[in-house]
Amino acid sequence: MNEDRKIRILVGKVGLDGHDRGIIIVARALRDAGFEVIYTGLHNTPEIVVEMAVQEDVDAVGLSILSGAHNYIFPEILRLLEERGVKDITLFGGGIIPKEDIEDLKKKGVKALFKPGTSTDEIVRWVRENVRPRAL
């Protein structure tokens, strides 16, 4: 593991949700905190996100989901990562996710879920404490 390498984080939106203001703010905060950030843009599929994550050798994937599809998207990303043999990419996210779904998603492997109103400082702090450079 290379602790000197900058942590690389892929962030973006999956599905038809076109509201990207929040993820852009988070991406800038992560970049300003010294992380290397790759923004996927809008309207991606889980397959595209996983392919980009593998191609870019990221340490984490952060997704914003406001569409209500979180119970499909997060598990599908985890399944596709496992299918590709990549189990060490940290998956986190945020958006409109009902409280009753958060614990189940965490049990499935999503490491953190941030609700609307979470400060960017809290997200940056969480990434610093929980994401490490992967052994490549």
Per the domain annotation, does 1 fall within a domain?
A: no
Can you give the pLDDT of all 136 residues of the chain as single tens digits?
A: 455 789 999 999 998 777 888 899 999 999 999 999 999 989 899 999 999 999 999 999 999 998 889 999 999 999 999 999 998 999 999 999 999 999 999 999 999 999 999 999 999 999 999 999 998 7
Torsion sign (Cα): 58, 121, 113, 17 = negative
User: So what's the pLDDT on residue 15?
Assistant: 82
User: So what's the pLDDT on residue 1?
Assistant: 45
H, E, C per residue of the chain: CCCCCCCEEEEEEECCCCCCHHHHHHHHHHHHCCCEEEECCCCECHHHHHHHHHHCCCCEEEEEECCCCHHHHHHHHHHHHHHCCCCCCEEEEEECCCHHHHHHHHHHCCCEEECCCCCHHHHHHHHHHHCCCCCC
User: So what's the pLDDT on residue 126?
Assistant: 98
Number of domains observed in the structure of the chain: 1
What CATH number is given to the structural domain containing 46?
3.40.50.280
Per the domain annotation, does 135 fall within a domain?
A: no
Per the domain annotation, does 136 fall within a domain?
A: no
